[in-house]
Structure 1
Amino acid sequence: MHKFYNRKQQLSKLRQISSQITNTKGRLSVMVGRRRVGKTRLLNEAFNGTGNAKSIYLYLFISRKSEAALVDEFRSIIAERLGTKFFQPQSLRDIFEYLFDYATVKPLTLVVDEFQDIEKVNSSLFSDLQNLWDSYKNTTMLHLVCCGSLYSLMTNIFKGSKQPLLNRDDYFFKIQPLAPSFIKEVLHDSHRYSAENMLIWWCLSGGIPKYLEWLINADDPVFDELISDTSPLIKEGTHRLVEDFGAEHRVYFDVLGAIANGHTTRARIESYLNAGVGPALEKLDTDFAIIGKMRPITSKETSRDVRYRIVDPFLSFWFHFVYSNRSAVEMENYTYLKNIIERDFNVFSGKQLEALFEAVLIESKQFNRIGSYWDTKGENEVDIVAIDDINKRILIVEVKRQAKRYQHNQLLIKSAHVLDKLKLKNYQIELRCFSLDTLEEVMIEFSKPE
């Protein structure tokens, strides 16, 4: 995907911070976003060849190896990029002190990627960095960008009350997957846009640029190419998650497999796996941000009526089809896997169609509350409820693959339950059916504000 989509605001801000660094002196930016979301590409776009020759750009990646090995690697990079031949650092602290000092003479943009993994290499480095930053901030012409893929850990490093780097950040960038309008743009640029393809590409990418790149390079039908022994898709779930999950990865994988196959409450997951999963659910939600808690839009944050969903559509697809059929994958029986997808994809993508329409409404910026509804018996379910409290408007939506299956009277009955619980007076209420047939119209109607 050579064209760079979206991210204009972040690009502009990052460049501005680096270009003004001689005047402002030390600035610390934190950038967070899940793996594959395009953080490194954004940073390269921002700082490589921007015409800002005043500032040198240096990129250091914290891989999980020994401190001595990292020091050796970074020393070589610094020697090559900054022309420093006689620098012999003994520790990562030496590396950072040298760079902070270097930038008192020449402007420097320093990106430290997977910053949260410093914890695994040498956790005392966070205190060293705090001391160095506090000493140099007012004299160094350094734009330090701390980049990480684990949102909760990165947030804790800079916002946790007992952390040495508490509130040292000047800017906090949260990089999200590309919104539906950009997936549509990618499809149009590839001359492959249709409502069906939009849904398939949503299920297989969720707006993650790396996966969109795979889809651009795959011929239609995409499953023929992406479900094969040469495809990176087959191993992606493992590659993306095992390193973060560590020794407990099997437990987490089983929980995600259960959720992907429709067991969305804690009781149902525990019954399906015949094991307690409370701590695993908590970590998947708060530490890894891979699952999210859903409650009826009418209930309080403290309500125990919780359902879980996998936040990323790609991982939902991967756990539903690849992980659940890992015996066939081990035997490299990709014909079997393709047959399963052909048989079940319509039902699977029906749930993802709800998530796609929800993402369209979120992107529109027209609503301040969006969710779904079900009653205590798990009946009277409503797919999407979107509320605009400023203009006093409630949109209640039934999502169907085919509009002809929509029954207005049924939605009327179910919506009465929602409205009774919401207790919002004098709101304009609109009942709608969103379907694959009307996807294009809905996307135009709720196109994002300029």
Structure 2
Amino acid sequence: MSGERMLAAEFPVEVQARHVLSVIGSGERTFSAIASRCGADDKPLPAGSLSHALRTLTHKRLVAVDTPLSTKPGDRDRRYRVADPYLRLWLAFFERGIAEVERGRGSRVAAAVERGWASWRGRAVEPLVREALGRLLPDDAWPHAHEIGGWWPRTNNPEIDLVAADRSPAREIVFAGSIKWHERAPFGGRDLAALARDALAIPGADGDTQLVAVSRSGFDVTDCAATFGAEELVDAWAP
């Protein structure tokens, strides 16, 4: 019940913002998709109402706003996510499961978590990886890596998990990277080839842009500019 109590304290009267937060927590990330899910009678939520709710959520720091990082401004392609990892987990799995738990059917909620865990974790770890690299960089190897983000076009295809740049919007793309957070499968040659191909779509990147790999389960490649495993990322928070 921790998540429900947190939200009750934050939203004693702001029902619409609370609903918008639930929709974002369920996985919707774009303004239009959120508006569609929050609407009624097959009509999307009006843009003004949704903008007000999003301002409330970002002001309370419950929702974070990401923009694609490249040499082109990306404000039109904003993506929204629940900022707190615990609340993100609660909204994705437990909010809808409270009634099942109260009926003694907690095993059904546990099964839903088991089914959706790998997909949810793969998306949830991305901002944590970016934050870790933002703490580790810039360094001697990449003195200009002052901004760490990701990149995506309006179609969301391809999506680049990691982009390092000198600023936002960028004058220089320092590297592009891919995150593979699997239980056992290491980062392999196919993953690197896909990254090399997709990175060319980033405005400001080219065939000489360095490539970086992040993996939970090791690496089967040796020709990346750098690799980061779980231990290196955790070290970003060391004193």
Name 1:278's counterpart in structure 2: 51
Structure 1 counterpart SS, 2:155: coil
Distance change (3 Å), C-alpha of 1:330 and 1:270: farther
What is the aligned partner in structure 2 of residue 434 from structure 1? 214
| CA positional deviation for 1:281 | 1.3
**1:355 maps to what in 2?**
127
Aligned position for 1:398: 178
CA contact (8 A) 1:365 1:448 kept: no
SS of residue in 2 equivalent to 1:324: coil
Q: Aligned with 1:247: secondary structure? A: coil
Contact 1:403 1:434 in 2 (8 A): no
1:318 alignment partner, one of 79, 85, 90? 90
Q: Aligned partners of 2:38 and 2:100: how far apart in 1? A: 21
- Inter-CA distance 441–362: structure 2 relative to 1 (3 Å threshold): same
Determine the C-alpha separation between the residues in 2 that align with 1:333 and 1:307.
34
Q: Does 1:345 align with 2:110?
A: no
Change (3 A) 1:430 1:442: farther
Counterparts in 2 of 1:440 and 1:247: CA distance versus 1, 3 Å: closer
* 1:246 to 2:36 alignment: no
Alpha-carbon distance between aligned partners in 2 of 1:279 and 1:360, rounded to the nearest angstrom:
31
Show the 5 A alignment for 1:299-310.
299-300=72-73, 303-310=75-82
Q: Does 1:263 align with 2:45?
A: no
The offset of 1:247, in angstroms, is 1.2
Q: Is the 8 A contact 2:130 2:162 kept in 1?
A: yes
Looking at structure 2, the residues matched to 272 and 305 of structure 1 have their Cα atoms a distance apart, in angstroms, of 18
Give the Cα–Cα distance (whole angstroms) in 1 for the partners of residues 231 and 238 of structure 2.
16
Distance change in 2, residues 1:434/1:326 (3 Å): same
Residue aligning to 2:152: 374
Secondary structure in structure 1 of the residue aligned to 2:95: helix
Q: 1:307 to 1:407 in 2, by over 3 A?
A: same
Deviation for aligned residue 1:336: 1.3
Return 5+ residue gaps in structure 1 as ranges: 1-234
Deviation of residue 257 (structure 1)? 2.1
Task: Verify: 1:422 aligned to 2:204, yes or no.
Answer: yes
Shift of 1:261: 2.2
Alpha-carbon distance in 1 for matches of 2:98, 2:17: 15
The two structures have a TM-score, normalised by structure 1, of: 0.42
* Higher gyration radius (CA): 1
Aligned AA (1:321): F
Structure 1 pair 312–443 and aligned structure 2 pair: CA distance change class (3 A): same
* Residues 252/333 of structure 1: CA separation in 2 closer, same or farther (3 Å cut): farther
Normalised to the residue count of structure 2, the TM-score between the two structures is 0.75
Equivalent residue letter for 2:20: V
- Check the 8 A contact 1:403/1:433 in 2, yes or no: no
Could you tell me which runs of 5 or more consecutive residues in structure 2 were left unpaired when the two chains were aligned.
139-144, 219-228
The one-letter code sitting in structure 2 at the alignment partner of 1:283 is T
Aligned residue in 2 for 1:383: 161
Q: CA deviation at 1:357?
A: 1.5
Alpha-carbon RMSD? 2.7
- Amino acid across the alignment from 1:241: L
Partner SS for 1:403: coil
- Cα displacement string for residues 14-73 of structure 1 (whole angstroms, at most 9, x for unaligned residues): xxxxxxxxxxxxxxxxxxxxxxxxxxxxxxxxxxxxxxxxxxxxxxxxxxxxxxxxxxxx
Deviations 1:334-357 (Å, cap 9, x if unpaired)? Answer: 211111111211111111222221
Decide whether the 8 Å contact of 1:434 with 1:442 is kept in 2. Answer: no
Alignment of 1:42-191 (within 5 A): none
Is the CA contact 2:134–2:148 (under 8 Å) kept in the aligned structure 1? yes
AA of the residue aligned to 1:270: A
- How far is 1:385 from its partner? 0.7
The answer as to whether partners of 1:294 and 1:307 remain within 8 angstroms in 2 is yes
Q: Which has the higher contact order (CA 8 A, sep 6+)?
A: 2
Determine helix, strand or coil for the equivalent of 1:246: coil
Aligned length, in residue pairs: 206
Distance 1:337 1:433 in 2: 34
- The percentage of counterpart residues that share the same residue type is 22
